[in-house]
Copies of this chain bind each other. A is one copy, B any other.
Amino acid sequence: LEGCAPCGELAQRLAFLAEVDRLKSVLRASLLCDGSRRENSAEHSWHLALYALVMAPHARPAVEIGRVIRMLLIHDLVEIDTGDVPIHAQNGAAHHGTAQLQAEAEAAERIFGLLPAPQGVELRALWAEFEANETPDAVFAKSLDRAQPVMQNIASGGGTWAEYRVTYAQLVERVGLRIERGAPTLWHWLSESAQVYFTARTGG
């Protein structure tokens, strides 16, 4: 798409759509449900958008599902520049360091800045809203982002829990409270399924 700046807003949109293709090459810690390989952040984002669509009846009344879907489609784009930071890495401490937050803000500026200004500004604000995790839409989106890897771990027989030696108490603290905040019925179901795994692992 070189040399296309003169083509205007359509060329900007297509340059953005070509750039985001790189999210398909960002690998996450989580495995696919069948355990065959690590998941990438693009297919993870698709899966989450489907989570929002399908779990809509379990969202709080103030939640607007269409906005949540848009938020989840773009929530990981910054990883094109920064990579994915696994939630259980560095004993749970890696996820919100200052350097990481700064790098993500710069990535958001670069990537959303590829778009024509009004849409780029709007989508960057939607990403910032997700990160701030305060509005009903963001809280629900974040709960799904935390729930999906739990589902993948249950399905694949432990997944990142085994790899990072996660305990049930750590799971509750690192992800359970957030899932419960946005989707309490979902956390109720997941926590029961997860306890089956953790009980079997500790032989208790």
Interface residues of A (CB under 8 A from B): 1, 7, 9-11, 13-14, 16-18, 20-22, 24-25, 32-34, 36, 39-40, 42-43, 45-47, 49-51, 53-55, 57-58, 66, 69-70, 73-74, 115, 119, 123, 148, 151-152, 155, 185-186, 189
Contacts and interface: CB of A to CB of B under 8 A. Distances in A.
Contact of A21 (B17, B32, B53): B32
A142 B152 CA distance: 31
15 contacts: A10-B185, A10-B186, A10-B189, A18-B151, A21-B33, A21-B152, A22-B33, A40-B43, A42-B46, A43-B46, A45-B46, A49-B73, A50-B73, A53-B74, A66-B69
A74 B94 CA distance: 34
A204 to B, nearest CB: 21
A49 B152 CA distance: 23
A20 B47 contact: yes
Contact of A17 (B14, B47, B115): B47
- Copies held by the complex: 2
A25 B21 contact: no
A53 B122 CA distance: 12
Give the 7 A-B CB pairs with smallest separation, nearest first.
Answer: A46-B46, A42-B43, A21-B33, A66-B66, A43-B43, A24-B43, A13-B54
Contacts of A70: 53, 69
Contacts of A7: 189
A155 B46 contact: no
A18 B54 contact: no
Contacts of A36: 25
A152 B115 CA distance: 19
Nearest to A189: B10
A18 B18 CA distance: 29
Contacts of A18: 33, 151, 155
B25 A58 contact: no
